[in-house]
Structure 1
Amino acid sequence: MKPIPLFCAASANAGLDLRGAIDAVLDSHHFILGSKVRAFEQAYASYQRTDHCVSVANGSDALELALRALGIGAPARVVTVANAGFYASTAVHAVGARPLYVDVTEDTLTLCPDALAQALALAPKPAAVIATHLYGQMANMPAIAALCANAGVALIEDCAQAHGAELQGKKAGAWGDLACLSFYPTKNLGALGDGGAVLTANAALADRLRQLRQYGWSDKYHVDIPGGRNSRLDELQAAVLLAKLPQLDAHNAWRRRVAARYSAALAGLPLRCPAPPGPDFVAHLYVLRTAQRDALAQHLQAQAVGFGLHYPVADHLQRAYPGAACCGPLTVTQQACAQVLSLPCYPGLSDADVDRVSAAVRSFFARA
């Protein structure tokens, strides 16, 4: 039985002239902060309908440098969720700040506005909020952005899993002071290695980010701001992303079709499927929730069906950082971490393979 992987780069990249893009960079003999990086930053800013795209080495650096650009460090607190893989938490710890975890909504598993309101009412007031768009599903940004604006608290969007998502005519990444992106190969817009970017409409923040990504330089070898590092998207990855960007909307549409096909096939089973796909959901992952998660995972493995657990350990329970601060109970978060299971969902996944995955899930519940 041929395995169906959780993600297949060959399928996702089919039909793209990536070799031509790479060869053009090799022929140029310019590999760092050259014309391809500038062209990609301009193209992606235009796609996002924002003013500035500052590319960096990866999505984790994007989050950390966004916090540094806002001047956030010890002993500040940053509000975020605890069910999104510890990526935001890593950045918060890296700048010396402290995460303050709040619960997520039952329907989307994204930042709960009511829980955020409670956190923003605390004294001292948190310095920033990181709102993660999870699994390709946008958070409730109208409510979250309004709460942050009223409280005078900076808002960072983590858009690593939501390239191209849109809510009320505004892209994911257009609601906050800064927005962070990852171009890891499995992302909806993925490079052939690591890559990331920060979006902003604020020219001063963009200038600061450009300094931070290159040692804090104002000019070569002149370090004017602290916290800088070597975090640059290279020309090869920028060329690949430029080649793939025109296909992003079509690839998102493919992902949505896969998600809709799963939801139709799995209707009536004792599990929870994602919300129906719309503009605010680009189906980065198709995540089920079931109390029988571990047994279902074993069954899928026996059926040669790939799966993932995104994410099985909540951030506030990670052993490296005991005593994490939470604002209220994280009931939905902890239940989700025990129940989530991701099915294959990517451009190029055939209807036949979607049906085979669906049949494997249905056969598990038919045994009961």
Structure 2
Amino acid sequence: MTIHVWDYLPEYEAERDEIHDAIETVLRSGQLVLGSSVRGFEREFAGYHGLPHCVGVDNGTNAIKLGLQAIGVKPGDEVITVSNTAAPTVVAIDGVGATPVFVDVDPDTYLMDVNQVEAAVTDRTTCLLPVHLYGQCVDMDALQRVADRHDLRVLEDCAQAHGARRDGRLAGTMSAAAAFSFYPTKVLGAYGDGGAAVTASEEIDRNLRRLRYYGMEDRYYVVETPGHNSRLDELHAEILRRKLRHLDEYVAGRRAAADRYAAALSDTELVLPTVDAGNEHVYYVYVVRHPRRDDILEALKAYGISLNISYPWPVHTMTGFADLGYREGSLPVTERMAKEIFSLPMYPSLSRDTQDKVISALREVLANL
């Protein structure tokens, strides 16, 4: 049987009764859209973060898109972010008619290089969009100082950082608003698509609720401002309520697996993850580097191990964003990383036996390069 970087089946078996009870609860409730399960999850997810507001939406991409609109980003504006991210971050910026502007990443943490942000600010910049990548947070204090100097809003992309902290503060609590994805692979994942935005602002909360529901506020069929159909599904919301109770356990399981990798691979030529000062990493993915990455991945197939690359194609190199005008060499750290990084299996129910097989195979492959 092939070993992949993620497998939900062991977790499902452990939580099967809870998941089935969640489904039964919704189906017997008489409410299938924006009912008590969505309201309950919004209340509980906001409470986990110590915030007053959470708005459930249909996926993480729309959480970013609606978040940008809710904080006032308009067509023609510029939003500064990174190219070393999943494409949806940038698709969401494009989706509101704004222009993504990329800065490079730190060569050790792979996070936004905050030192480059100020030079990228123009008179069209309205928002900074940091990506808390792979499970740890951008230096938000330094980024907020840039935002304050230029009167910019900040929206956190927390799709990969549920439960992560920096200097004691949870990802998602360090800006005007934050967007989360509940795609199944995430630290907190649904059994399909889902997303949410959190905020401390009543105004942003009202904007988000209106935007996710066609632009309607109090009266059905009365559009205040054009919006979207971007509602979190009741079934996913109820499942997420049950899984939210286990979030800290999921994080602990990921950290334990990361510790085992570090202990077993620290003497190899692999570059292992670096945790930035003040960060509490949740290891959404366990990303390593090696200049012969492609040879390693090909050799591991003989052991029945199929691994991923997050991400092999930086967004600025994709044909869909060619009109932005970035050329090879524009973001040298991001481009170099994309040729060397790959992800090892990482999920809280990863067994020691499976992890040991990956470690043993990887050590053999490295020894024979």
What's the TM-score once normalised by structure 2's chain length? 0.95
Q: Which residue of 2 aligns with 1:281?
A: 281
CA contact (8 A) 2:317 2:326 kept: no
Task: Report the CA distance between 1:326 and its aligned residue.
Answer: 5.9
Task: Report the CA distance between 1:321 and its aligned residue.
Answer: 1.9
**AA of the residue aligned to 2:199:** T
CA contact (8 A) 1:159 1:173 kept: yes
CA distance in 2, matches of 1:265, 1:276: 18
Q: Which residue of 2 aligns with 1:357?
A: 358
Task: Report the CA distance between 1:48 and its aligned residue.
Answer: 0.8
CA contact (8 A) 2:309 2:342 kept: yes
Q: Which residue of 2 aligns with 1:322?
A: 322
Q: 1:4-41: CA deviations, max 9, x gaps?
A: 22111112334221001100111112110000100100
**AA of the residue aligned to 2:285:** L
Asked whether 1:106 is paired with 2:101, we answer: no
CA distance in 2, matches of 1:325, 1:169: 39
CA contact (8 A) 1:256 1:282 kept: yes
CA distance in 2, matches of 1:319, 1:216: 32
Aligned residues: 364
Q: Which residue of 1 aligns with 2:223?
A: 223
Q: Which residue of 2 aligns with 1:96?
A: 97
CA distance in 2, matches of 1:75, 1:224: 22
Task: Report the CA distance between 1:117 and its aligned residue.
Answer: 2.1
CA distance in 2, matches of 1:29, 1:4: 41
Q: Which residue of 2 aligns with 1:155?
A: 154
Provide structure 1 residue ranges, at least 5 long, that are not aligned to the other structure.
none
| TM alignment of 1:286-325, pairs within 5 A | 286-324=286-324
**AA of the residue aligned to 1:306:** S
Asked whether 1:59 is paired with 2:60, we answer: yes
CA distance in 1, matches of 2:365, 2:73: 48
Q: Which residue of 2 aligns with 1:19?
A: 20
Residues 149-158 or 200-209, more deviating: 149-158
Task: Report the CA distance between 1:50 and its aligned residue.
Answer: 1.1
Task: Report the CA distance between 1:68 and its aligned residue.
Answer: 1.2
| TM alignment of 1:145-184, pairs within 5 A | 145-184=144-183
CA contact (8 A) 1:54 1:198 kept: yes
User: Match of 2:361, SS?
Assistant: helix
**AA of the residue aligned to 2:155:** I
After superposition, the Cα gap between the structure-2 partners of 1:325 and 1:66, relative to the gap in structure 1 and judged at 3 Å, is farther
Provide structure 2 residue ranges, at least 5 long, that are not aligned to the other structure.
none
Task: Report the CA distance between 1:289 and its aligned residue.
Answer: 1.0
CA RMSD of the aligned region, Å? 1.6
Asked whether 1:116 is paired with 2:117, we answer: yes
Q: Which residue of 1 aligns with 2:210?
A: 211
Task: Report the CA distance between 1:348 and its aligned residue.
Answer: 1.0
CA distance in 1, matches of 2:196, 2:321: 27
Task: Report the CA distance between 1:361 and its aligned residue.
Answer: 1.2
**AA of the residue aligned to 1:107:** D
CA contact (8 A) 2:71 2:176 kept: no
CA contact (8 A) 2:293 2:342 kept: yes
Task: Report the CA distance between 1:54 and its aligned residue.
Answer: 0.4
User: Match of 1:92, SS?
Assistant: helix
CA distance in 2, matches of 1:147, 1:276: 23
CA distance in 2, matches of 1:20, 1:87: 32
CA distance in 1, matches of 2:74, 2:326: 19
CA contact (8 A) 1:56 1:197 kept: yes
User: Match of 2:106, SS?
Assistant: coil
Task: Report the CA distance between 1:134 and its aligned residue.
Answer: 0.7
CA contact (8 A) 2:59 2:183 kept: yes
After superposition, the Cα gap between the structure-2 partners of 1:303 and 1:245, relative to the gap in structure 1 and judged at 3 Å, is same
Task: Report the CA distance between 1:112 and its aligned residue.
Answer: 0.6
**AA of the residue aligned to 2:301:** Q
Task: Report the CA distance between 1:355 and its aligned residue.
Answer: 1.4
Q: Which residue of 1 aligns with 2:197?
A: 198
**AA of the residue aligned to 1:351:** R
Q: Which residue of 2 aligns with 1:74?
A: 75
Q: 1:215-250: CA deviations, max 9, x gaps?
A: 000221111113x11000011001100010011001
Q: Percent identity?
A: 38
CA contact (8 A) 1:157 1:176 kept: yes
Asked whether 1:259 is paired with 2:233, we answer: no
Q: Which residue of 1 aligns with 2:187?
A: 188
CA contact (8 A) 1:156 1:179 kept: yes
Q: Which residue of 1 aligns with 2:47?
A: 46
User: Match of 2:343, SS?
Assistant: strand
**AA of the residue aligned to 2:309:** L
